Chains A and B, each alone.
Chain A
Amino acid sequence: MKTNKNYKSLIYHYIFKRTSTFILAVVVTSVFFERTYDHLCEAIFERINRGRLWRHIKHKYENNGDEDGFSMPSADDAAAD
């Protein structure tokens, strides 16, 4: 209980007390939250549609492309990383 109270007072002291730190916390949290959430949703989407999306079938057609140096990072690749 004591540690819990310390923890809360620390959060209050360093984050909520001043508007500047509060806004900073909001911005930083939203950046990380959005990244995590987007990845999570993409993962769910890929799980539902396994085998149907281009990134699941492209390995069949890509062999020649890699030798020519054509493997341009597309939007799909960026999302899959």
Chain B
Amino acid sequence: MAASLGRICRTTSLLKPSSGPIYSQVNNFTTTKEWSKGRKLLTACLGVTAGGIGALLFSLDRSVRAIEIVAHAPHYHWPWTGLFQSLDHASMRRGWEVYKNVCSACHSLEYVAYRHLVGVTHTEAEAKALAAEIEVRDGPDDQGNYFMRPGKLSDHIPSPYPNEEAARAANNGAYPPDLSYIVNARHGGEDYVFSLLTGYCDPPAGIVLREGQNFNPYFPGGAIGMAQVIYDEVLEFEDGTPPVASQVAKDVCAFLMWTSNHEYDDRQVLAIKTIGIGSLLCALLFYLKRFKFSHVKNTKLAFIPKKK
């Protein structure tokens, strides 16, 4: 602090050797003494500017962001919120049902394969049965022809549209995004997805929607091509959970959280391991530091001149 003050004000009185042994050492070691006045001034200005811009950016980021016309999703307490909490696999299994019965009409899930479901939401036999329900174009065979075959575990979830243009043409020009990584790809993540699914309402006065558009305050711009699809009892869960709208939305969020973060549970285990080993090493290092410094701190140097 004293050094930077001296640099700015060009008062070297603080650094004078007469100020004591510590300051005299600083004075000896510092290399800024030889700097020209202009260079010192420039350095100081640069430091102040960088700090100021950083503080400004930080405060802007902390502000309420009232300039955007979009409702920010509130933070919900999910089963996986927390340092050591795993995903809720029963919820993910229901979420897969929701995707299959509701979302898959328009949204693809092209980066998830049936084999990914094995040991996560379904047993291997169940996943094989699910995969066998679809038809996959494969080939070429011996004759060079392409043919259709039942799906296998290694096949990916089929997309509802063959390409983006077909998807846009079928949905008034709006493209239903792929849901594989949607939780990681949107600000707010699962909170945003949940709020979007359950947040449909009538447009306020002054908002004009075009044909085929719906109003959702959580969608940037407000006008969303997707209509409300999550209602109470939109489907029946196989485990008998009451399919109210918030339950359906929560389960599909749990499922999409997993499709975006396949390694989530491993990460939580790793957190336990890392914190455990880290605290062990911390204690060891603390002891080692005390051990090594005990010599330094107890050493007394004495200069005893020879008696004449």
Check B276 for interface membership: any CB of A closer than 8 A.
Answer: yes
Say which size band chain B's interface belongs to: 20 to 34
- Contact string against B for A residues 54-68, beta-carbon threshold 8 Å, 1 for contact and 0 otherwise: 101110111011001
A45 CB, nearest partner CB in chain B, Å: 5
- Contact string against A for B residues 81-97, beta-carbon threshold 8 Å, 1 for contact and 0 otherwise: 00011111110010000
Known contacts A44-B272, A48-B84, A53-B89; is-contact A65 B126 (Cβ 8 Å): yes
Check A70 for interface membership: any CB of B closer than 8 A.
Answer: yes
B268:A45 contact, CB within 8 angstroms: yes
Give the A interface residue count (CB, 8 A).
26
B120:A54 contact, CB within 8 angstroms: yes
Known contacts A37-B276, A44-B272; is-contact A57 B123 (Cβ 8 Å): no
Check A75 for interface membership: any CB of B closer than 8 A.
Answer: yes
B124:A70 contact, CB within 8 angstroms: yes
Write out the residue numbers on chain A whose beta carbons fall within 8 Å of the beta carbon of B268.
45
Which residue of chain A has its CB nearest to the CB of B129?
A: A64
B85:A48 contact, CB within 8 angstroms: yes
B89:A74 contact, CB within 8 angstroms: no
- Contact string against B for A residues 10-29, beta-carbon threshold 8 Å, 1 for contact and 0 otherwise: 00000000000000000000
Check B125 for interface membership: any CB of A closer than 8 A.
Answer: yes
B271 CB, nearest partner CB in chain A, Å: 9
B269:A42 contact, CB within 8 angstroms: yes
Check B106 for interface membership: any CB of A closer than 8 A.
Answer: no
A70:B119 contact, CB within 8 angstroms: no
A54:B84 contact, CB within 8 angstroms: no
Interface residues of B in 103-124 (CB under 8 A from A): 118-124
B25 CB, nearest partner CB in chain A, Å: 42
A37, A49, A64, A75: the one contacting B125 at CB < 8 Å is A64
Interface residues of B in 246-298 (CB under 8 A from A): 265, 268-269, 272-273, 276-277
A61:B122 contact, CB within 8 angstroms: yes
A38, A44, A52, A70: the one contacting B123 at CB < 8 Å is A70
A49:B123 contact, CB within 8 angstroms: no
Most buried by A among B87, B268, B272: B272
Known contacts A62-B123, A65-B126, A70-B123; is-contact A41 B276 (Cβ 8 Å): yes
Which residue of chain A has its CB nearest to the CB of B82?
A: A48
Write out the residue numbers on chain B whose beta carbons fall within 8 Å of the beta carbon of A70.
123-125, 128
B270 CB, nearest partner CB in chain A, Å: 9
Which residue of chain A has its CB nearest to the CB of B273?
A: A41
Chain A interface (Cβ < 8 Å from any Cβ of B):
37-38, 41-42, 44-45, 48-49, 52-54, 56-58, 60-62, 64-65, 68, 70-72, 74-76
Closest 4 CB pairs of A and B: A65-B125, A49-B86, A74-B119, A70-B125
Chain B interface (Cβ < 8 Å from any Cβ of A):
79, 84-90, 93, 118-126, 128, 239, 265, 268-269, 272-273, 276-277
A sample of 10 inter-chain contacts (CB < 8 A) reads A44-B272, A45-B84, A45-B86, A48-B86, A52-B87, A54-B120, A56-B89, A65-B123, A65-B124, A70-B123
